[in-house]
């Protein structure tokens, strides 16, 4: 009986460890994706603001050159 109980406990422990490892990997991936989304949203905001500057420049009839893009936007 003791050997059978030890086997069951070992299987339960293995399942718990596997689920823990899976959850750990999953949470790491979620953190990476959240960081990527924040980066893309910041780029999107900078692009939108620059496009608005270009539209305002044209609308006001200002001559060339257009306003410069924000640092790092086009790289």
Confidence class for position 1, pLDDT limits 50, 70, 90? low
Residues in the chain: 75
pLDDT given at position 26: 96
% residues pLDDT > 90 (the chain)? 84
Do 51 and 28 form a contact (C-beta atoms < 8 A)?
no
The string of DSSP codes covering the chain is -HHHHHHHHHHHHHHHHHHHHHHHHHHHHHHHHHHHHHHHHHHHHHHHHHHHHHHHHHHTTPPSSPPPPPTTS--
pLDDT in tens, 18-47: 999 999 999 999 999 999 999 999 999 999
CA–CA separation, 24 and 41 (whole Å):
26
């Amino acid at each position: 009986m003791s050997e059978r109980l030890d086997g069951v406990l070992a299987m339960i422990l293995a399942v718990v460890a596997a689920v823990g490892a899976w959850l750990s990997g999953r949470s790491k991936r979620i953190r990476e994706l959240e960081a990527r989304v924040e980066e893309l949203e910041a780029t999107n905001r900078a692009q939108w603001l620059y496009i608005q500057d270009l539209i305002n420049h044209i609308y006001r009839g200002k001559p060339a050159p257009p306003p410069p893009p924000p640092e790092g936007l086009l790289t």
